[in-house]
Amino acid sequence: SDEKGYASLTPECNTMEGFEQAVAELKKRMDSALERARETFQQYQAQVKGEKAVSDFHNAEEIWQALEECSSLEEMRELFNELSVRKRQEVADFVLTQLNIFKGVASTFSQHYNEAEYLLE
């Protein structure tokens, strides 16, 4: 805290480049906190409804099995895109390397997966 009672979110920076790096690190930490909060919130909502949230599953295969049960691409897209980036990467890696992407739900997934942003479109 400074003399006015303000807390600093970054270390003291002597250059604009140093400040930009500090802000980038702060953004990364905030994004990580947001993802953890999103997962916690989804788990809470599922618990209230008496369901198991897709984000409760720990491995990519379990998550994929839940996604396969979706009744539409839109439902799959919504559930998949709500996962953390790490879990989306793990599921995509599982689907694209372990499953036959030329038929069934895996084919639909592979056609709509945006590898650059780790999202289903």
pLDDT higher at 102 or 48? 102
The backbone region for 50, taken as left when phi is positive above 0, alpha when psi lies in -120 to 50, beta otherwise, is: left
For the chain, the domains span 16-120
For 10-54, how does the pLDDT look when each residue is reduced to its tens digit (9 = 90+)? Answer: 788 889 999 999 999 999 999 888 888 887 777 777 666 655 566
pLDDT of residue 48: 64
Residue 6 has pLDDT above 80, yes or no: no
Rounded Cα distance between 109 and 68, Å, is: 10
Confidence of residue 101 (pLDDT cuts 50, 70, 90): confident
For 50-98, how does the pLDDT look when each residue is reduced to its tens digit (9 = 90+)? Answer: 555 666 677 899 889 888 988 899 989 988 898 888 889 999 999 999 9
Q: What's the pTM?
A: 0.58
Instruction: Say if residue 115 is exposed, middle or buried (CB neighbours under 10 Å; 0-12, 13-18, 19+).
Output: exposed
Structure tokens at 75: 């439902």
Q: Which residues contact 67 (CB under 8 A, 6 or more apart)?
A: 54, 76, 79, 80, 91, 105, 109
* CA-closest candidate to residue 60, choices 117, 109, 116, 114: 109
pLDDT of residue 39: 78
